[in-house]
Amino acid sequence: DKDPDDYLIKSRQNYNRPISRSMAYKILHDAADKFHIESIGTHTLRKTFGYHFYNQTKDVVTLQKIFNHSHPAITLRYIGIEQESINEAMKRFKIY
């Protein structure tokens, strides 16, 4: 059984220590290569998490705190909701 406080991916140097950013990037990049996915990084995961968290909960304030952003508008722009809203509004716009 795993302790709930254990890291999912542990550093090789130390028991229950986090991996480095560069190792996280390498693991992600190697996995992406196997599936022929280009232009992926650790921020891709962060933004994807934020996008889906917001779409499920509509709780931008909690997401803002998770991301340590200073304003909800920054969080929405970061996860691409602002651009998505603009695109949807433009699709609905009609001149009669």
Note the pLDDT tens digit of each residue in 35-82: 999 888 888 999 999 999 999 999 999 999 999 999 999 999 999 988
Predicted confidence at residue 67, as pLDDT, reads 97
Sign of the C-alpha dihedral computed for residues 66, 71, 73 and 74 taken in this order: negative
34 & 49 share domain: no
55 or 17: which leads in pLDDT: 55
Instruction: Say if residue 84 is in the same domain as residue 47.
Output: yes
Q: Is the distance from CB of 42 to CB of 24 less than 8 angstroms?
A: yes
Mean pLDDT of 1-5: 79
State residue 96's pLDDT score: 86
* Sign, Cα dihedral of 36, 56, 67, 15: negative
Q: Examine the domain organization and report whether 75 and 87 are in the same domain.
A: yes
Q: How confident is the model over 28-37, as a mean pLDDT?
A: 94
> What pTM was estimated for this model as a whole?
0.69
Range of the domain at 27: 1-40
